[in-house]
Amino acid sequence: MNILKGLTKIKSSFARFIETTNNFMWVQRNEKFADKRLVVEQLTDRVLVRVKGEEVVPFLQGLITNDMTHLQSGSTPLPKTSAMYTMFLNKAGRVLYDSIIYRTPEPNTYLIECDKFISNELRRHLRLYRVRRNIQIDAVDGEYRPWIVFNPVGSVVRMDTSVQVGQEVISTPDPRIRDLGTRVITKTDKTWKDLANMFSKSGDITVAKPTNDCNYRMHRYRYGVGEGVQDLPPGKSFPLEANCDYMHGVSFHKGCYLGQELTARVHHTGVVRKRIMPLRLSVPASPKSINISTEAGTNIGVIRGANLDRALGLLRVEQALGSTKLFVDGNICYVEKPYWWPNELPKKARVEGC
């Protein structure tokens, strides 16, 4: 009888082990081992614009796709966060600028992170719609500097950054996808070494500099996240094509904003035929590579950005996921459905890190 009880206990334990093996391996790889490696990189192609004034919240609310209530100080029915992903659209509902907006300790003051090549255009856009509101709009790239701290295999940076960074630094998980890493805003006198020391204090962690094949751009491309004017040319795509809805960057419950009508209509019809998707290349794409085609030669999309063996493509989703092979300039490439997309479509293997 004791032997039977022992066998039953072993069988039960083995069954529980089988059921949890996948989760266990994921925890082992991402928490026990992967969390010990962090890459700290200055975002040299991103700058900050400060927007300040008593009417700044309703002002931005009428220009962005997301809901400023998420960032607004005070008690609200919505969860308050330190940073929020959003987009500025033109009247036709096309994307002008992608951005991350940060709440600061100062009242009625926000920092807008944007591509440095359109910083002037963004400030002009804001001033155009400011009208007579008493709102200050200033470039602060001489005061603040944006950084990214990420784990190359996508594990979350697990540390109390509010304690580590102090009052002069904003630190927050990337508001789009947590596996992208932690966004850090520092004063311009902070160096890479300062941030490396800051994060290495959190435990047995190895902090590294970015390399050619392991950097933030490659990291984004593996997850299928476009950013800046190279990946999202102004006026060339719609917010849902850029996965703004999947990355928590658009509110379908707030009031009117510039470009809302078409965005809401597309959302409620439920038809978004093209989206930004990650590509794995067999041969690095040339700067002139544009079209992506099926084995039958049908063009189903265009390349929006490429680096080494990774790229972003604006693709017809159904045809892309239904094709075993795709081609760029006659060379094979493979499309992957990001794990963070909703599950209504067939999902391929999870994207690996560096």
Q: Can you give the CATH number for the domain in which 66 is found?
A: 3.30.70.1400
The model's pTM is 0.83
Same domain, 312 and 202: no
Same domain, 206 and 283: no
Same domain, 89 and 167: yes
Identify whether the C-beta of residue 278 lies closer than 8 Å to the C-beta of residue 338: yes
Same domain, 92 and 209: yes
Give the pLDDT score at 156: 57
Q: Is residue 34 part of a domain?
A: no
Q: Is residue 238 part of a domain?
A: no
Same domain, 195 and 277: no
- Which CATH number fits the domain that encloses residue 293? 2.40.30.110
Domain boundary (218, 235, 250) is at 218
DSSP string covering 204-264: S-EEE--BTTBSHHHHHHHHT---HHHHS-TTSS-TTTTTTTTTT---SSS---TTHHHHH
From first to last of its 354 residues, the chain has per-residue pLDDT tens of: 444 444 444 333 333 322 222 222 222 233 444 457 889 999 999 999 999 999 999 999 999 999 999 887 543 444 557 899 999 999 999 999 999 999 998 899 999 999 999 999 999 999 999 988 999 999 999 999 999 999 888 655 555 444 344 456 788 899 999 889 999 999 999 999 988 888 777 666 788 999 998 999 999 999 999 999 999 999 999 999 999 999 999 999 888 999 888 888 888 787 889 999 999 999 988 877 789 999 989 999 999 999 999 999 999 999 999 988 899 988 999 998 999 998 764 444 334 444
Q: Is residue 211 part of a domain?
A: yes
Give me the domain span that covers residue 311: 273-341
CA distance from start to end of the chain = 53
Give the pLDDT score at 26: 26
Same domain, 202 and 283: no
Same domain, 324 and 201: no
Domain boundary (179, 198, 218) is at 218
Give the pLDDT score at 206: 84
Give the pLDDT score at 82: 87
Count of the separate structural domains present in the chain? 2
Give the pLDDT score at 130: 94
Strand arrangement of the beta sheet that strand 83-89 belongs to: 83-89, 95-103, 109-115, 46-52, 136-139
Q: Is residue 24 part of a domain?
A: no
Same domain, 160 and 299: no
